[in-house]
Amino acid sequence: MSNIIEIKNISKDYGNSKGIFNVNISVKKGEVFGFLGPNGAGKTTTIRNLMGFTRPDEGHCSINGLDCYHNAEKIQENLGYLAGEIVFLEDLTGKQMLEFIASMKGIKDKSKMYELMELFELDPKGKVKKMSKGMKQKIGIICAFMNDPEVIILDEPTSGLDPLMQNKFVDLILEEKKKGKTIFMSSHIFEEIEKTCDRTAIIKDGKIVAVEDMEDLRAKKSKFYIVTLSSIEETDRFVKENVNIIERDNRKVKVGVRGEVLPFIELLSSYKVKDLDIQTQTLEELFLHFYGGEK
C-alpha cells in the first residue's frame, strides 16, 4: 500500500526546547492514524506543517506526493480539515456558516452536509456566537467531512463533545474508513483512538517516542483476575502456583494473565473460589509510561 501522507524528518524549533524535532510519520492509503500526546507535545505544530500553514525549519511533508507547503491550495481541494481552535464567523447562524463553507468549497451536492447535521443532531438555527463549545465542534466536524474528501486531518476532533456525540464521531470515522478514506487525527482520548485507529504515534516533548500497531497492542493487553479464595490456607497455596501475582490482600489475589486463558481457568477450578472479578488493561494504562516519567 502506498503512503498518502509523508512527514519526513520535520523540525520547527521555537527555542527553549519547544517545538517539534525530527518528526517522521507515514500514513498509508485507507489508514486511520492516531496522534497522541500530552498538552504542548507538538501535535498542533505537526498538523500545521502538514496543512502548509507553516514551513518546517528542516524536512518536508507531502500529501499524495505534493509538498504540503508549496502545494497547500491544490492539496486542500480534496482534503478535510478540522482545526484545534476553530475560527467562526460569529454573527452568522449555524446554517449560514455551513452554507458559506459549502459555497467556498464549491459543493453542489450538499447531501453529506445534511446527513451529518442529522447524525450529530445539530440545531443550526441559532447564531454561532451563542453556541456551546460542543455545538461549534459539531459544525467544525461537518465542515471537515461535507465535501466527502479522500484525506481528512483532524486536530482533537471530539474536544467539547459529550460521550453520546463522541460515540457518533467514532461511528463516522469507522464508516469513512470502510469507504477507504485516509484519516490522521490527534486526540487526548485513548478510547476513541483505540476504537478507530490502525496505528498510533505518540509524541512527547516534540519527539516521536513510539509508533504502535493497534492490533499488536490489543494482543499485548493483560487481563487481571481478582480471585477471592475461601480460606487463608487456600490462598497461601494459590500464591505458590506458577501464576503472575500482582498483589495479595488476605484472601483476595490479583493475577495478571496475558494471551491463553484456559490453563488459568483450569487452575482456578481446582480451588474453592468465593468471588471472581475481571479487569482488562486499558490502552491508557499501556500508554501512560510514555506520557509520564522516563520512557
Ligand X SMILES: Nc1ncnc2c1ncn2[C@@H]1O[C@H](COP(=O)(O)OP(=O)(O)OP(=O)(O)O)[C@@H](O)[C@H]1O
User: Under the rule (CB under 6 A), what is the footprint of ligand X?
Assistant: 14, 18-19, 37, 39-45, 84
| Residue 44 or 167 having the CB closest to ligand X | 44
Question: CB of 40: closest distance to ligand X in angstroms?
Answer: 4
| Residue 45 or 62 having the CB closest to ligand X | 45
What's the sign of the alpha-carbon dihedral 144, 145, 148, 149?
A: positive
Question: CB of 21: closest distance to ligand X in angstroms?
Answer: 11
Following CA atoms 238, 242, 247, 252 in sequence, which dihedral angle do they give, to the nearest 10 degrees? -20
Count of CB atoms within 10 A of residue 40's CB? 12
Q: What are φ and ψ of residue 82, in 5° steps?
A: -120, 120
Report the alpha-carbon distance of residue 137 to residue 86 in Å, rounded: 8
Question: CB of 16: closest distance to ligand X in angstroms?
Answer: 8
| Residue 56 or 124 having the CB closest to ligand X | 56
Cβ contact 101:69 at 8 Å = no
| Residue 39 or 250 having the CB closest to ligand X | 39
Which residues, 6+ apart, have CB-to-CB distance to 128 below 8 Å? 88, 89, 90, 91, 92, 93, 94, 97, 136, 139
Question: CB of 182: closest distance to ligand X in angstroms?
Answer: 21
Question: CB of 183: closest distance to ligand X in angstroms?
Answer: 18
Question: CB of 156: closest distance to ligand X in angstroms?
Answer: 7
| Residue 60 or 188 having the CB closest to ligand X | 188
Report the alpha-carbon distance of residue 208 to residue 213 in Å, rounded: 14
Helix H or strand E encompassing 36: strand 32-36
Angle between helices 94-104 and 111-119 (to 10 degrees): 140
Q: List the 244-249 sheet strands across, edge first.
A: 244-249, 252-257, 223-229, 273-280
Question: CB of 189: closest distance to ligand X in angstroms?
Answer: 12
Report the alpha-carbon distance of residue 147 to residue 77 in Å, rounded: 9
* CA 279, chain centre distance (Å): 22
| Residue 12 or 251 having the CB closest to ligand X | 12
| Residue 14 or 114 having the CB closest to ligand X | 14
| Residue 43 or 251 having the CB closest to ligand X | 43
Report the alpha-carbon distance of residue 85 to residue 156 in Å, rounded: 9
Question: CB of 84: closest distance to ligand X in angstroms?
Answer: 6
